[in-house]
Amino acid sequence: QKEVEQDPGPLSVPEGAIVSLNCTYSNSAFQYFMWYRQYSRKGPELLMYTYSSGNKEDGRFTAQVDKSSKYISLFIRDSQPSDSATYLCAMSAGNNDMRFGAGTRLTVKP
Amino acid sequence: NAGVTQTPKFQVLKTGQSMTLQCAQDMNHNSMYWYRQDPGMGLRLIYYSASEGTTDKGEVPNGYNVSRLNKREFSLRLESAAPSQTSVYFCASSFRRRETGELFFGEGSRLTVL
């Protein structure tokens, strides 16, 4: 079993839809949680960063962490074609170890 | 503002050949990393350098060597390439430790080993 599980998709939604992306993990020591966005043929770029449990909002993006369920989510409101990319979750226990999910490929259709 | 620059962007090798991937960052970051990205596997850390003069193994170091040439440059060498090393390689850098700070990635180097 992988330490970080992420559904690879692909996920296709119409423009304006609410998108929900999720990861589950097995290591209860993880306390730093990140979402990276990767456009085709590009390197990943940090989208959201959360420490421990709770919610964090940034514009149309909301990151949620539920440590009791070992489950993190990224919500995208009013999705746009420019949101079409692969979204990678990443997490760490803060001990010089960090794990990435495999990524979910999202397409937002006009 | 270049950020993290990787060369070459594409490379095809035959089994047993050697090559070096070059990486340079202009953000004055202390830490640099080499990852590989394979379908269904996510990003896996090969080697990292927490600061100039130090290097450490990551999750998948076998078959690779690295050199932190100076604060800006971090190279990855394949001494005897194998088909299992066909992958997309990403160099990244960060000001703080990667698990508590933002990683800045290059655009990737696509390597095929025949």
CA dihedral A93, A26, A87, B74 (to 10 degrees): 40
Residue A21 CA from chain centroid, whole number: 6
Write out chain B residues lying below 8 Å of A6, CB-based. 42
What DSSP character marks residue B70?
Answer: S
Write out chain A residues lying below 8 Å of B41, CB-based. 102
Q: Is the pLDDT of residue B85 over 80?
A: yes
Q: According to the model, what pLDDT value does residue B87 have?
A: 98
Interchain contact B46–A (C-beta under 8 A): no
H or E stretch including A16? none
Window A:24-53, CB contacts with B under 8 Å: 32, 36, 41-46, 49
pLDDT band at B99 (very low <50, low <70, confident <90, very high): low
Rounded-to-integer distance, Cα B51 and Cα B48, Å = 9
Q: Is the pLDDT of residue B98 over 70?
A: no
pLDDT in tens, chain A (110 residues): 678 999 888 999 999 999 999 999 999 999 999 999 999 999 999 999 888 888 999 999 999 999 999 999 999 999 999 999 999 999 988 766 789 999 999 999 99
